[in-house]
């Protein structure tokens, strides 16, 4: 009898301790049943469809419901990325596997039963709205999931297939056009709301987070009526869209076009590809369209202030209280501009660029960035880009959220330096730290200070996802942003809260955008 009892205890203890028996390895979701893959106690579900393939007549339409499949789908392989130039794959360390049929997501869960309610983090990749994939090794969600959150990464359409506006498309929808990629993100969030509980996630505790274009998209979702109620917190790394909408090509640092400007660009693109009308453009192959879009980030396609998905100037929407009010964790890197402005800038180059885009405020911008020598001009070009595209939107977002919202704002400044980046942290440098996927240098190993920084950032990010506050036991105190104090958490060799960096330059840019906004009224 004692042997029988001992045997039962052994079997029970093995069942409790075995991750294979305890993890959520399958789930029935919208469309059918999935089987995931368990590795080290985290189960991943890759290549999960969340909308119908946006092909044929569904090209340039809002995502549509998917068709159910039969049997059990083994979710062990990433789906192809959305159509983009193959050169983007080199930047992301992935094979150039792209398709127009690309509306898939991935899930990593630590849950041992579907009844658990873990906080959920939904990742939106960057890439200038021209490139990006969910399956970059940097974005692997396992290490974040080990911190006790469910991680989801969502694909969205890019470039001309994701952000082309045209009068025919606006007429067809009756609600403007050009924001199919953002609508994909919203469809992915609906999928999360409807299905994430089956993976042990809490649909009422969802954090959206993204970097660069993904961070900009997070700010757009924060102002989009279509995303209302789909997330409870927001994290933006080097992103934000608070500049006035762009009406012409020479408005410095204004990226989001008005619907009229975007439709003009769309008509020009139809002419370029030889499409007499929308039907003809939909009949063309995705490869022909992608070739016409061209390589790189400067494709001319960007989310649109269409009056629907993006109702208008996001800065004004915040002033009016018309936004999805949540806690936000937002920040920038110290040397963002070096990725985009690399060398060869002379004082006259910098002056000509500023005078060509900043109108009556050009002199004040030039005065804020010393540029008398070639060395100064290069630094000025890099820093002006960093401040106008990344740091000013972040600072402005924090101010608007603090003044007009109930959710707190936590602001960071990432300045982890290394022998390869002695002048500061370059654009996207924080990603490996956030995901815990830092790759050691060739022939070397990770520095202890980098491992320590990654652990700190993963703790801050997941604490925020769980509670709306990044602080936790043993972590350097991170105060919330306030109108009077404006503290910023410096993530560097000595993590601590300090004043807003580069504030005189941000104030000069603030005056410029205020002038632009006043002229558009």
Q: Is residue 352 part of a domain?
A: no
* pLDDT, one tens digit for every residue, the chain (521 residues): 454 444 444 333 433 334 344 589 999 999 999 999 999 999 999 999 999 999 999 999 999 999 999 999 999 999 999 999 988 777 777 888 999 999 999 999 999 999 999 999 999 999 999 999 999 999 999 999 999 999 999 999 999 999 999 999 999 999 999 999 999 999 999 999 999 999 999 999 999 999 999 999 999 999 999 999 999 999 999 999 999 999 987 899 999 999 999 999 999 999 999 999 999 999 999 999 999 998 877 778 999 999 999 999 999 999 999 999 999 999 999 999 999 998 999 999 999 999 999 999 999 999 999 999 999 999 999 999 999 999 999 999 999 999 999 999 999 999 999 988 999 999 999 999 999 999 988 878 999 999 999 999 999 999 999 999 999 999 999 999 999 999 999 999 999 999 999 999 999 999 999 999 998 65
Each residue's pLDDT tens digit, 378-435 = 999 999 999 999 999 999 999 999 999 999 999 999 999 998 899 999 999 999 999 9
Task: Provide the pLDDT for residue 521.
Answer: 53
What is the separation of C-alpha 85 from the centre of its chain, rounded to a whole number of angstroms? 19
Q: Is residue 340 part of a domain?
A: no
Task: Provide the pLDDT for residue 1.
Answer: 43
What φ, ψ does residue 139 adopt, rounded to 5°? Answer: -90, 10
Q: Which residues are catalytic?
A: 212, 336, 427
Q: How many domains are there within the chain?
A: 1
- CA gap 519, 169 in Å, rounded: 29
Q: Is residue 345 part of a domain?
A: no
Torsion of CA 132, 60, 235, 417, to 10 degrees: 20
- CA gap 352, 291 in Å, rounded: 32
Backbone torsion region of residue 229, taken as left when φ is above 0, otherwise alpha when ψ lies between -120 and 50, otherwise beta: left
- Report whether 177 contacts 93 (CB < 8 A): no
H/E stretch holding 509 reads helix 503-519
Tally of CB atoms within 10 A around 53: 18
Task: Provide the pLDDT for residue 16.
Answer: 38
Strands 233-237 and 328-333: parallel
Pull the structure tokens for residue 409.
């704002």
What is the separation of C-alpha 49 from the centre of its chain, rounded to a whole number of angstroms? 20
Q: Is residue 350 part of a domain?
A: no
Q: The domain containing residue 485 runs over which residues? A: 14-332+358-519
- CA gap 322, 310 in Å, rounded: 11
Cβ-based burial of 340 (10 A; exposed 0-12, middle 13-18, buried ≥19): middle
- CA gap 460, 458 in Å, rounded: 6
Pull the structure tokens for residue 474.
């043993």
DSSP state of 488: E
What is the separation of C-alpha 121 from the centre of its chain, rounded to a whole number of angstroms? 12
- Report whether 246 contacts 520 (CB < 8 A): no
Each residue's pLDDT tens digit, 219-245 = 999 999 999 999 999 999 999 999 999
SS3 content of the chain, % helix, strand, coil (to 5): 40, 15, 40
Q: Is residue 327 part of a domain?
A: yes
- Read off the CATH number of the domain in which 376 is found: 3.40.50.1820
Q: Is residue 6 part of a domain?
A: no
Widest pairwise Cα distance in the chain = 92
The residue whose two tokens read 């062990």 is 76
Q: Is residue 406 part of a domain?
A: yes
What φ, ψ does residue 499 adopt, rounded to 5°? Answer: -65, 160
Q: Is residue 342 part of a domain?
A: no
DSSP state of 198: G
Task: Provide the pLDDT for residue 7.
Answer: 45
- Report whether 78 contacts 287 (CB < 8 A): no
Nearest of 117, 414, 421 to residue 236 by alpha carbon: 414
Q: In terms of DSSP H, where are the helices of 303-411? A: 314-319, 347-357, 362-368, 374-386, 392-404
Torsion of CA 459, 461, 463, 466, to 10 degrees: -140
Task: Provide the pLDDT for residue 520.
Answer: 60
- CA gap 91, 519 in Å, rounded: 39
- CA gap 269, 281 in Å, rounded: 10
Strand (E) positions, 69-148? 72-74, 81-82, 98-99, 104-109, 118-124
């Amino acid at each position: 009898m004692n042997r029988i009892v001992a045997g039962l205890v052994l079997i029970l203890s093995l069942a409790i301790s075995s991750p294979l028996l305890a993890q959520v390895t399958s789930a029935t979701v919208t469309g059918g049943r999935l089987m995931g893959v368990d590795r080290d106690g985290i189960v991943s579900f890759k290549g999960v469809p969340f909308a119908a393939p946006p092909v044929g007549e569904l090209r340039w339409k809002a995502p549509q419901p998917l068709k159910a499949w039969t049997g059990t789908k083994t979710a062990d392989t990433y789906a192809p990325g959305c159509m983009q130039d193959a050169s983007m794959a080199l930047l992301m360390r992935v094979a150039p596997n792209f398709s127009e049929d690309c509306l898939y997501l991935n899930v990593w869960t630590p849950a041992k039963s579907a009844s658990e309610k873990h906080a959920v983090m939904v990742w939106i990749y960057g890439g200038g709205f021209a490139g990006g994939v969910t399956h970059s090794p940097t974005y692997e969600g396992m290490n974040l999931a080990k911190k006790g959150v469910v991680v989801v990464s969502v694909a969205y359409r890019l470039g001309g297939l994701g952000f082309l506006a045209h009068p025919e498309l606006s007429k067809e929808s009756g609600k403007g056009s050009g924001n199919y990629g953002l609508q994909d993100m919203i469809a992915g969030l609906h999928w999360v709301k409807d299905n994430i509980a089956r993976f042990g996630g809490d649909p009422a505790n969802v954090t959206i987070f993204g970097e660069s274009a993904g961070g900009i998209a997070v700010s757009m979702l924060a102002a989009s009526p279509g995303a209302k109620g789909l997330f409870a917190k927001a994290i933006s790394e080097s992103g934000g869209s608070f500049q006035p909408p762009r009406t012409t090509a020479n408005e410095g640092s204004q990226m989001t076009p008005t619907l009229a400007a975007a439709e003009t660009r769309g008509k020009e693109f139809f002419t370029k590809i030889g499409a007499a009308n929308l039907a003809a453009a939909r009949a063309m192959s995705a490869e022909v369209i992608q070739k016409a879009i061209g390589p790189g980030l400067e494709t001319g396609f960007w989310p649109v202030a269409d009056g629907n998905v993006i109702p208008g100037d996001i800065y004004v929407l915040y002033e009016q209280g018309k936004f999805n009010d949540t806690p936000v964790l937002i920040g920038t890197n110290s040397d963002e501009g070096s990725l985009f402005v690399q060398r060869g800038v002379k004082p006259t180059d910098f002056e000509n660029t500023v005078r060509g885009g900043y109108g009556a405020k050009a002199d004040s911008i030039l005065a804020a960035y010393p540029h008398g020598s070639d060395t100064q001009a290069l630094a000025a070009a890099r820093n002006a880009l960093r401040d106008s595209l990344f740091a000013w939107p972040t600072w402005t977002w924090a101010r608007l959220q603090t003044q007009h919202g109930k959710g707190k704002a936590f602001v960071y400044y990432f300045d982890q330096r290394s022998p390869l980046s002695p002048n500061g942290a370059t654009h996207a440098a924080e990603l490996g730290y956030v995901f815990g996927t830092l790759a050691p240098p060739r022939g070397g190993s990770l520095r202890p200070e980098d491992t320590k920084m990654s652990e700190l950032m993963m703790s801050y990010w997941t604490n925020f996802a769980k509670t709306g506050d990044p602080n936790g036991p043993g972590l350097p105190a991170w105060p919330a942003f306030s109108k009077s104090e404006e503290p910023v958490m410096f993530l560097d060799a000595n993590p601590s809260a300090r004043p807003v960096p580069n504030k005189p330059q941000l104030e000069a840019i603030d005056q410029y955008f205020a002038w632009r906004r006043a002229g558009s009224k």
